[in-house]
Every structure is written in structure tokens, then in C-alpha cells.
């Protein structure tokens, strides 16, 4: 950077991250993972000039620094060359597989004048590529900066949100499709920020997962939902479903004791707590997690696999984990009426869930057609706007007392 400043030249900083490297490690083993890293290095070495610096930055991240960059076209050319290196397959034990990369770039002095700024901005650009679907490159630029500003502000506001009482749980009824009775409720978090207003959980949960606040948010959801459900037992013996992030399971021993505490202090019977976890946990677990889930189940709590069908639902994982219930992701229902393919997928999921003795919930039921179709296919439970949107506790209580009757809501 000192040289670049003296000579008035550009320096390109490139972050190269392998896509889904974790899966290679998990499915093919660490030796194959090591082989991929070594071969990646060799491929990269082939295309760089002697004045460039290539390093392995950590894990599956590589850093490439290129001095004397002429213009952004040259940078694009380099990035495209790197992407093309991965059009070639990797081979191990006669097995052939492909890995793509995500590339983020920052240019001195436009995107930063210190190494810290440049690294951070190349990293941000790389994450942008990941979010947009991987196997591509991106520059760090001003547009991205705006997104990042919002994220940084939300990040710092979120720290205060719990103490400022800006977080609230909404509840969406879960219905027995045959009797149309409410058998449960899913607790869904809502955040009303002083500056940005209503922030959807799809935006703030990932932030909380990155900055570690997910543990506090999770405790809040768990304790609030349990004590609310305990009060509602007098009206109806409903079960409460609480969402858990796989990040919360990194400290599974702490999580287990938090769940036990929440049940004790609310006096909610464990049978009335349903723990929703997503497929990503299945991929990202260690054996302690399975032991912990088994403990929860033997305490009487129920375990649900959430968003089923959106990730990598290997059958072997489903059997290894002690699930009671499977939730079909609402994505499958969106155009099910007009798509035979979707209908066949849903019927395959239902058949599989039955074979594994799992109770089935369909989420995203938006009309009568959905409700009837799923009922006929043998799906027992459902939730969706057709029955009720997620509503604040007070409104939910009214619905609980009146019961659900389809469109009249
Ligand atoms: P999810 O677990 O898949 O939750 C269901 C989402 O579907 C909710 O979105 C709900 O409002 C929406 N939904 C329900 N019925 C319908 C329908 O008929 N049509 C459509 N289009 N949507 C429907 P919401 O509340 O925005 O939550 C989004 C996601 O945020 C949740 O997805 C969950 O992954 C996460 N989340 C929410 N609360 C928590 C929480 O307390 N902890 C954790 N870890 N994650 C949470
Ligand atoms: Ca859920
Ligand atoms: Ca879902």
C-alpha cells in the first residue's frame, strides 16, 4: 500500500471463498477436504504473476493481492479467470465432484486506504456474492455500503431492543385439518425499531446469529412463549412451537438448561413445548447435540424439523435425529395448485414422513383448496393465513376462545 501510494497505482484485494466446502468435509471426509484446498492453491498459483501475493487466509478462504492494477476491467478479467479454474472437476477415489467459488474484490484507494478497510470491504463483497447465489464475483461499491450501513445500525440497535422492550412475540394458530380445532401456536418474533420501524425476522435473525445476540433473543422467545402458553392452558390444552436457530445449539448444554429453566419457571408441562429446528442443524451438528435432543425428548418435549425440503434433507439424518414432527416448508405450497411437480414433491414428503412415523404440518395454507387438498393427502396439521396470520398474544387469546372458522377470520 505504501508503494501504491508513492507510485499512484491501484491495488486489488481479492477474497476467494469456496462454496459449500463444509459439505465436502462432511460428506467426503477431511482428507478429501485437504486435497481440495491443496489443489485449489495449485490452480490459483498457475494464474498469478510473480508480483502478486497469494495466501490461505483461513478455512476455505484465500486472499490474493495484486499490485499495479490498470483498471476495473483487468480486475474483472482476473476474477473471471479464477471462476473458470473451478469449471474443472476435482477427483478423489474415482469420485468426481465440482466446487464453485465466491469472489469479493476491493480496490485501493477507492474502497479503502488501510489494509483493514480493504480486507473488510473485500469480505463484504464476497458475502454479497454468497447471498446472491454464489459462483460469481463482485466489487465492493457504494451501493453495497448502504446495505451495510443499515445492517450495522440494526446490529447496534438490536443490542438495546430487548431492554427497550421493542421485541414481541406473535402467535399463529396450528390447526387440526380434520376438526379445524386449534391444537397449537407457533411463536414468531417481531421487532419494532425506533429508527427503521418494523424489521422482519428474516432480516434481524441472521444479524443476531452473526453478532451472538441470538442466544439472548432465543431466551426471550423461549421464556415468553412458555409463560404465555402456560396461561393459555386454562382456555385450551394447546402446544407452543418455538423456533430455534442452529447457532443456539453451538452451546447445547447451556441451551438444554435454559429450556429446563423456562419450563420450570413457567410450570408449562414439557409435553406442551414443541422445539422447531431447521435442516441446517442436521448438517452442522456434533454428537452432543443428538444426545441433548434425546434428553429433551425423554423429558417429554416435542421435536419438529422445520422448513423441510429447503435444504439438504438426507434421509440418514432424519433417522438419526429423534423428530416427532415434520413441517413442510411454505415454499412447496405457493403454486402447488398449478404445478404437478410441486404436488408430487409434497406427496412424496408426506409418504416419507408417514413411513418414519412423523406427524405432518403444512405451513403457508392460504386458501380452502390448500386445506382440502392437504387433508385428503393425509396431512394432519396446518397453519397459514387462511386460518389466521400471526397475531399479538391478546388477539390470539380471542381466537383461541372463539375457535377458527376459515374465512370468517
Ligand atoms: P418460519 O419458521 O418458516 O415461520 C413461518 C413463516 O411463515 C412466518 O414468517 C409466518 O408469518 C409465515 N407464514 C405463515 N403462514 C403463511 C401463509 O399462509 N402465507 C405466507 N406467505 N406466509 C405465511 P415470519 O414471522 O416473517 O418469520 C420468518 C422466519 O423468521 C421464520 O420462518 C423463522 O425462521 C424466523 N423466526 C421467527 N421468529 C423466530 C424466533 O423466535 N427465533 C428464531 N430462531 N427464528 C425465528
Ligand atoms: Ca418455524
Ligand atoms: Ca418455513
DSSP 133-179: TSSEEEE--HHHHHHHHHHHHHHHHHHHHTTTT-EEEEEEEEEETTT
The response to whether residue 203 sits with its C-beta less than 6 Å from ligand 1 reads no
pLDDT computed for residue 10 by the predictor? 93
Q: Give yes or no for a contact between 249 and 255, defined as CB atoms under 8 angstroms apart.
A: yes
**61-86 residue pLDDT tens:** 999 999 999 888 888 889 989 999 99
Q: Tell me, which fold does domain 153-402 have in CATH? A: TIM Barrel (3.20.20)
Q: How far apart are CA 295 and CA 289, in angstroms?
A: 10
- The yes-or-no verdict on residue 406 having pLDDT over 50 is no
**15-71 residue pLDDT tens:** 999 998 988 898 889 999 999 999 999 999 999 989 999 999 989 999 999 999 988
Grid-cell match 412447496, residue found = 332
Q: How far apart are CA 75 and CA 128, in angstroms?
A: 17
Q: How far apart are CA 5 and CA 28, in angstroms?
A: 46
Q: Whose CA is nearest to atom 15 of ligand 1?
A: 384
The response to whether residue 353 sits with its C-beta less than 6 Å from ligand 1 reads no
Best of 191, 201, 367 for a ligand 1 pocket test (most atoms within 8 Å of beta carbon) = 201
Q: How far apart are CA 382 and CA 265, in angstroms?
A: 30
Distance between alpha carbon 110 and the CA centroid of its chain, in Å?
33
Q: How confident is the model at residue 309 (pLDDT cuts 50, 70, 90)?
A: confident
Best of 216, 330, 335 for a ligand 1 pocket test (most atoms within 8 Å of beta carbon) = 330
Q: How far apart are CA 9 and CA 30, in angstroms?
A: 41
DSSP 8-state secondary structure symbol assigned to residue 89: P
Q: How many helices (H) and strands (E) does the chain have?
A: 15, 17
Q: How far apart are CA 174 and CA 361, in angstroms?
A: 8
Report the atom number in ligand 1 closest to the C-alpha of 169: 41
Q: Give yes or no for a contact between 378 and 347, defined as CB atoms under 8 angstroms apart.
A: no
Distance between Cα 188 and ligand 1 center (Å): 6
Q: How confident is the model at residue 146 (pLDDT cuts 50, 70, 90)?
A: low
The response to whether residue 150 sits with its C-beta less than 6 Å from ligand 1 reads no
Domain extents in the chain: 2-140, 153-402
Question: What ligand is nearest to the CA atom of residue 329?
Answer: 3
Strands (E), 129-201: 136-139, 167-176, 181-193, 197-199
Return the axis-axis angle of helices 201-211 and 214-232, rounded to nearest 10°: 130
Q: How confident is the model at residue 313 (pLDDT cuts 50, 70, 90)?
A: low
Q: How many residues does the chain have?
A: 409
The 10 Å Cβ neighbour count of residue 68 is 15
Best of 173, 185, 363 for a ligand 1 pocket test (most atoms within 8 Å of beta carbon) = 363
The response to whether residue 173 sits with its C-beta less than 6 Å from ligand 1 reads no
Distances (CA, A) of 399 to 222, 268, 287, 390, 407: 22, 21, 41, 11, 13
pLDDT computed for residue 178 by the predictor? 95
Hey, what CATH class is 2-140 in? alpha beta
Q: How far apart are CA 326 and CA 48, in angstroms?
A: 49
Amino acid at each position: 500500500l505504501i508503494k501504491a501510494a508513492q507510485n499512484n497505482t491501484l491495488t486489488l484485494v481479492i477474497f476467494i471463498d469456496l462454496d459449500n466446502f463444509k459439505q465436502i468435509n462432511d460428506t467426503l471426509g477431511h482428507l478429501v477436504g485437504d486435497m481440495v484446498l491443496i489443489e485449489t492453491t495449485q490452480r490459483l498459483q498457475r494464474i498469478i504473476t510473480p508480483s502478486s501475493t497469494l495466501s490461505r487466509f483461513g478455512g476455505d478462504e484465500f486472499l490474493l493481492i495484486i499490485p499495479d492494477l490498470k483498471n476495473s476491467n483487468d480486475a474483472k478479467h482476473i476474477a473471471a479467470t479464477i471462476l473458470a479454474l473451478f469449471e474443472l472437476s476435482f477427483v478423489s477415489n474415482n469420485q468426481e465432484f465440482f466446487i464453485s467459488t465466491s469472489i469479493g474484490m476491493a480496490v485501493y484507494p477507492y474502497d479503502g486506504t488501510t489494509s483493514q478497510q480493504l480486507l473488510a470491504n473485500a469480505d463484504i463483497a464476497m458475502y454479497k456474492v454468497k447471498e446472491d447465489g454464489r459462483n460469481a464475483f463482485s466489487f465492493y461499491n457504494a451501493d453495497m455500503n448502504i446495505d451495510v450501513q443499515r445492517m450495522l445500525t440494526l446490529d447496534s440497535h438490536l443490542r438495546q431492543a430487548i431492554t427497550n422492550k421493542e421485541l414481541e412475540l406473535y402467535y399463529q394458530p396450528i390447526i387440526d385439518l380434520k376438526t379445524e380445532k386449534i391444537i397449537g401456536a407457533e411463536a414468531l418474533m417481531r421487532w419494532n425499531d425506533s429508527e427503521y420501524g418494523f424489521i422482519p425476522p428474516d432480516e434481524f435473525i441472521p444479524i443476531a446469529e452473526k453478532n451472538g445476540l441470538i442466544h439472548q433473543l432465543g431466551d426471550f422467545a423461549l421464556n415468553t412463549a412458555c409463560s404465555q402458553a402456560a396461561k393459555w392452558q386454562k382456555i385450551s390444552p394447546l402446544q407452543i412451537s418455538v423456533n430455534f436457530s442452529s447457532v443456539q445449539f453451538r452451546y447445547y448444554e447451556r441451551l438444554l438448561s435454559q429450556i429446563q429453566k423456562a419450563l420450570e419457571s413457567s410450570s408449562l408441562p414439557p409435553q406442551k413445548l414443541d422445539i422447531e429446528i431447521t435442516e441446517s442443524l442436521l448438517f452442522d451438528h456434533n454428537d452432543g447435540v443428538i444426545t441433548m435432543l434425546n434428553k429433551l425428548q425423554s423429558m417429554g418435549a416435542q421435536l419438529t424439523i422445520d422448513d423441510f425440503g429447503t435444504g439438504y434433507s438426507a434421509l440418514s439424518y432424519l433417522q438419526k435425529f429423534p423428530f416427532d414432527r415434520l413441517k413442510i416448508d411454505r415454499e412447496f405450497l405457493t403454486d402447488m395448485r398449478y404445478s404437478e411437480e410441486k404436488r408430487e414433491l409434497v406427496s412424496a414428503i408426506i409418504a416419507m414422513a408417514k413411513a418414519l412415523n412423523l406427524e405432518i404440518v403444512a405451513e403457508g395454507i392460504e386458501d380452502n383448496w390448500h386445506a382440502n387438498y392437504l387433508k385428503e393427502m393425509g396431512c394432519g396439521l396446518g397453519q397459514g393465513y387462511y386460518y389466521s396470520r400471526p397475531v399479538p398474544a391478546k388477539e390470539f387469546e380471542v381466537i383461541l376462545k372463539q375457535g377458527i372458522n376459515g374465512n370468517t377470520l
